[in-house]
Structures are given as structure tokens and as C-alpha cells.
Amino acid sequence: MKTIVVRISDVAHQWLDDASQRANVPVSELAKLAIEKAAYAAALARYAPTEGQPYRYDRAAIAEHDADVARIIYGDNP
């Protein structure tokens, strides 16, 4: 696990705080989920086509990425 420090607006912090109280979970758990989803989307973006270019489909790279995601979700013991 890695630690990330981010600066967010007071309004965004209040939203997270309210949501964490409703869900009865720490703010860090809500933020962790959002950051992991953003990281996954960013990783997939490398396969998106640039303006006017064809879609890049690399089976080996996508399989490696999926293995990384499985390792993140399930740890080293899937």
C-alpha cells in the first residue's frame, strides 16, 4: 500500500465527511475507493486513441494490466 496526500476544497471535504458519517466509515475509505477508480481509469486511458488515430488494442499489455488490477484487488493470493 502507498500513501497519497491530496489537497481538496473545503466543500469537497465536507461532502466526504458527510458521506463518511452516513456510511459509518472513515473518510479515508471513501477517498481510497475514488482514487483507486481514478487510477484504473487513468491506466486504461493509455489504450484510448489520440485525436484521429485508431484504437490501440494490445492483448499482452491489457492482460498484464488486468493481472495488476487482480493483484491490487485480491493481493498476491487470488
> Domain check: are 52 and 40 in the same one?
no
> Does the residue 2 lie in any domain?
no
The answer to whether the beta carbons of residues 47 and 58 sit under 8 Å apart is yes
> Does the residue 21 lie in any domain?
yes
> Does the residue 30 lie in any domain?
yes
> Domain check: are 41 and 68 in the same one?
no
C-alpha 63, offset from chain centre: 18
pLDDT for 60 = 81
pLDDT tens, 15-55? 999 999 999 999 988 888 888 888 888 877 777 767 777 76
pTM over 0.85: no
Report the distance separating Cα 18 and Cα 12, nearest Å.
10
> Does the residue 61 lie in any domain?
yes
Domain that holds residue 70: 48-78
What is the average pLDDT across 2-26?
A: 90
